[in-house]
Amino acid sequence: MKIAIRVALLAALIGGGIWVWMYFHPSPEEAIRRRLAQLAEEVSFKSDEGMVAKAMHAQKLAGFFAREVSLTIDLPEISSHESMSRDEINKFALALRSSPYFRSLKVQCLDPVITLGADRKSAIVELTIRAETAGDKYLVVQEMKFTMKEVDGEWLILRVETVKTLNRAPTPRRSDDPALA
Amino acid sequence: MQSETVQTGNFSWLRTIIIGRNPRLTAVRLVVIVALILVLRAYVLLPIQVDGPSMLPNYREHSINVVNRLAYLRHEPQRGDVVAIRFSGKSIMLMKRVVGVPGDTVEFVNGKLMINGRHVDEPYVKSGCSWDFRPPHWQLGDDEYYVVGDNRAMPYEDHKQGAAKRERIVGKVML
């Protein structure tokens, strides 16, 4: 019996040691997952947030991105490709938090599928963003693709793209559509 | 002393109900049942909660349903099947009806569904519709299925629909 208890204690000790080691030395996949969870927390806000907190969170949010971020949005209602600097992201985040249309916002980064590059310092992350505001349910459920890179031990977002879950046919231009001709 | 005997008798009766006459056998049964539920949950039946109006009135908001993940092991999705379509994972899925299969052309003309240029009767659609969607020269690919909700009273722009890749179809909605 004593031996069994000793073995159990030893196993628990080894398990605990492995857990502590993995907590402080996460794999790139785990580090990215944690980073995305932090990103979701930083994007989310409550209605009672003060101006100082707004500015602080907006600045913190910008820190999740590279100095220059490429944004590609391809949705039925909007299509654009542009670059944004950290400063612009900061301003955008602050404007979003101060907008009278969004009293609060809750964002979740769900089901990240992480594909690491050969160097294990870059990654493509496909994930589902779910965002809801107070009162409205499911304001946005959108599949996204992030290109990330590890810089000085931190995973930064270099590129943000929307992913089409369902592919809609291109809206016919007037000249293309015989029915409209 | 007498009351003690009665208490022990009660406890024995309760114990028989809860853990049975053979506790070891009960434990084995419990482990098997839990393992079976976990395996079913992970690989066969996926419980879902309907959220959103796009499948009204056939699938009400907040109703519970089950997705059969093995439904398409032996055959491919058929027109009329209600399926679950994943995003990057299965935390949130789209619940839609398959109306077009690979090779089909899909159009909505004056609110009527047209497959390969022919009008298709849709008994599951209860609402009127004015969608007009006629993409020229657009045909579903070899691994694409056109999915759309039953609630056609919604504006076309607000209704998530389109061609889903086969790999995104998680399974068939059972109920």
Q: What angle do CA A33, A83, A41 make, to 5 degrees?
A: 30
Q: pLDDT tens across B79-97, in order?
A: 999 999 999 998 899 999 9
What is the number of other CB atoms lying within 10 angstroms of the CB of residue A113? 12
Residue A111: burial class (beta carbons within 10 Å; 0-12, 13-18, 19+):
middle
More confident of the two residues A172 and B160: B160
Strand partners, A82: A71
Closest CB to A166 among B52, B135, B163: B163
What is the number of other CB atoms lying within 10 angstroms of the CB of residue A34? 12
Q: pLDDT tens across A41-61, in order?
A: 999 988 888 889 889 999 999
Q: Distance between CA A82 and CA A62 in Å, rounded?
A: 16
Length of chain A in residues, anyone? 181
Q: pLDDT tens across A89-143, in order?
A: 999 989 988 888 778 889 999 999 999 999 999 999 999 999 888 765 557 889 9
A-chain CB neighbours of B91 within 8 Å are 110-111, 128
Q: Report the pLDDT averaged over residues B21-26.
A: 84
A-chain CB neighbours of B161 within 8 Å are 166, 168
Judge whether A131 and A105 are in contact, CB under 8 Å. yes
Q: Report the pLDDT averaged over residues A13-36.
A: 92
B-chain CB neighbours of A139 within 8 Å are none
The catalytically annotated residue of B54, B126, B130, B172 is B54
Q: Are strands A65-74 and A154-162 parallel, antiparallel or unpaired?
A: parallel
Whole-complex ipTM: 0.76
Backbone angles phi, psi at A3, to 5 degrees: -65, -45
Which pLDDT does position A175 carry in this prediction? 42
The catalytically annotated residue of B3, B12, B63, B96 is B96
Residues of A near B (CB-CB distance < 8 A)?
A: 76-77, 110-113, 126-128, 130, 137-138, 141, 143, 163-172, 176-179
* Cβ contact B161–A176 (<8 Å): no
Which pLDDT does position A151 carry in this prediction? 92
Q: pLDDT tens across A145-177, in order?
A: 999 999 988 999 999 999 999 987 654 444 444
* Cβ contact A113–B144 (<8 Å): no
**Residues with Cβ < 8 Å from B140, sequence gap 6 or more?**
B100, B101, B102, B103, B104, B105, B106, B146, B163
Which pLDDT band, with edges at 50, 70 and 90, does B5 fall under?
Answer: very low
Give the type of residue at A74: D
Give the type of residue at B161: Q
Q: pLDDT tens across B97-135, in order?
A: 999 999 999 999 988 999 999 999 999 998 888 888 888
More confident of the two residues B9 and A74: A74
* Cβ contact A111–B90 (<8 Å): yes
Average pLDDT, whole number, for chain B? Answer: 88
Is residue A6 scored above 60 in pLDDT? yes
* Cβ contact A170–B138 (<8 Å): yes
Average pLDDT, whole number, for chain A? Answer: 86
**Residues with Cβ < 8 Å from A30, sequence gap 6 or more?**
A22
Which pLDDT does position A178 carry in this prediction? 45
Q: Report the pLDDT averaged over residues B29-43.
A: 92
What would the 3-class secondary structure string for chain A be? CHHHHHHHHHHHHHHHHHHHHHHHCCCHHHHHHHHHHHHHHHHCECCCCCHHHHHHHHHHHHCCEEEEEEEEEECCCCEEEEEEEHHHHHHHHHHHHHCCCCCCEEEEEEEEEEEECCCCCEEEEEEEEEEEECCCCCCEEEEEEEEEEEECCEEEEEEEEECCCCECCCCCCCCCCCCCC
Q: In what order do the strands lie in the sheet with B106-109?
A: B106-109, B112-115, B118-119
* Predicted structure pTM score: 0.80
Residues of B near A (CB-CB distance < 8 A)?
A: 51-52, 85, 87-92, 94, 106, 133-136, 138, 144, 147, 157, 160-165, 168
CA dihedral B112, B118, B123, B128 (to 10 degrees): 10
